Structure 1
Amino acid sequence: MGRRSDHGRDELRELILSTGQQVMAEGGYARFSAREVAKRVGYSVGTIMHIYGNVDLLVMAINSRTFALWAEWIEARLEGVKGRERIAVLVRGYFDFAACHANLWAAIYEHRVPEGLDMAERLVAERVRLTDIIRREVGSLLPDGGSDRVARLTSSLIATVHGHCAFALGGSFALMGEVAPLELAVARVMEVLQANCAALDA
């Protein structure tokens, strides 16, 4: 029935996680189930619960891995890019990742972490890596690059880009007659950075 002796605990954890991410990528959060993951890995649902604790913890691990994938995606696109174009790459990278991995991207925002359920530090680290990259890039352009204000500005810029991206993918911009949502998002980000004295001339 299963392959319970085929993998050690760490191997099994990785197998469940990678398979779970594949299931999420194919069907999205609404159709995600531990039963489907169990079916594909050849173990029981009980085994998955023994390894991860519950479905929420498994989804949290999958979403954290998606953040890690996203961060690598962005870093790869920043290589060799200089000056203000790096900001445009960040915005474009947000849109491109969401479009290419729509179900994984959506699952990050569709899953609500239950109150009282703590997230492991390693998962938190995977999630904040993307924000740290953006904060690094924003901070490099501002005169007070290491200040708390930069952190708050970064959060606001991420929210701005996310809103534009969500409207674009969801069809809301099309209904408004907007045909270039990516360019619109880049323009808004540049305007905010310029208003905050960013060095955008390079």
Structure 2
Amino acid sequence: MGRRSDHSREELRALFIAQGHALMAEKGLAAFSGREVAKRAGYSVGTIYNVFGSLDQLIAAINSHTFLIWAEFLRQRLESAGEDRIRALVEGYFEFALENPRIWSAIYDHRLAEGEVLGEIEHSHRVELTAIVETEVRAVLPGGGGPETPRFARSLIATVHGHCSYLVSGSFALLEESDPVGSALDRVRECLAAQR
């Protein structure tokens, strides 16, 4: 059922990412199937390998696409954030994960095979989210922070991510934590206060 002449390589890439992203949102990484993506796109599974080189690279591209969607989600939250933009970032992090648990989890559950690396496009999509956080962190630090600010921003992301991961997985319920979002925000505010 291949339609090899219907699309350019770039169109095929976009088609497989779109179909793969939809499948990932429905099924999650554990039930993800390259054959199913190819079937939905109307191509053979071999075309995925011709375009991406491996199934891992397709999944990496899908996850990078999720980062783009997530970054736009946070930008929209920040537009209506008012003065407390840090709160908007933390709450937006949780909101996106809770609204999109399968595609959010796939970002962190997938690992490229040994020897494979992210392409330049995928890498650029992934750093957008970190850049948004770094910009907001710099805005609240005296003098816009210093050379360690990117590292500090990544550490804050890790703090929020840990809380969020526990919430999405249900682990916080076992720990009887009633307000994981508030707890994550408190930790971020404490770190920012210490950094000031």
Aligned-pair identity in percent equals 52
Aligned to 1:13: 13
Query: TM-score under structure 1 normalisation?
Result: 0.93
| CA–CA separation in structure 2 for the residues paired with 1:145 and 1:51 | 42
| CA–CA separation in structure 2 for the residues paired with 1:178 and 1:119 | 36
2:91 aligned counterpart, secondary structure: helix
What is the 5 A alignment of 1:53-92?
Answer: 53-83=53-83, 85-92=84-91
Aligned to 1:179: 178
Is residue 161 of structure 1 aligned with residue 160 of structure 2?
yes
Aligned to 2:22: 22
1:93 aligned counterpart, secondary structure: helix
Deviations 1:48-91 (A, max 9, x none): 111111001101100111001100000011014343x1000000
| Aligned structure 1 segments of 4 or more residues deviating by more than 4 angstroms | none
Query: TM-score under structure 2 normalisation?
Result: 0.96
RMSD of the TM alignment (CA)? 1.2
1:148 aligned counterpart, secondary structure: coil
* CA displacement at 1:135 relative to structure 2: 0.4
Deviates more, 1:74-83 or 1:30-39: 74-83
| CA–CA separation in structure 1 for the residues paired with 2:2 and 2:77 | 41
| CA–CA separation in structure 2 for the residues paired with 1:156 and 1:11 | 37
Any stretches of 5+ residues in structure 2 without a counterpart? none
Deviations 1:120-176 (A, max 9, x none): 112111000000000000011112425222112111111110000011111111111
Paired residues, number: 196
Aligned to 1:105: 104
Is residue 139 of structure 1 aligned with residue 153 of structure 2?
no
Any stretches of 5+ residues in structure 1 without a counterpart? 198-202
| CA–CA separation in structure 2 for the residues paired with 1:142 and 1:122 | 31
8 Å Cα contact 1:65/1:126 also seen in 2: yes
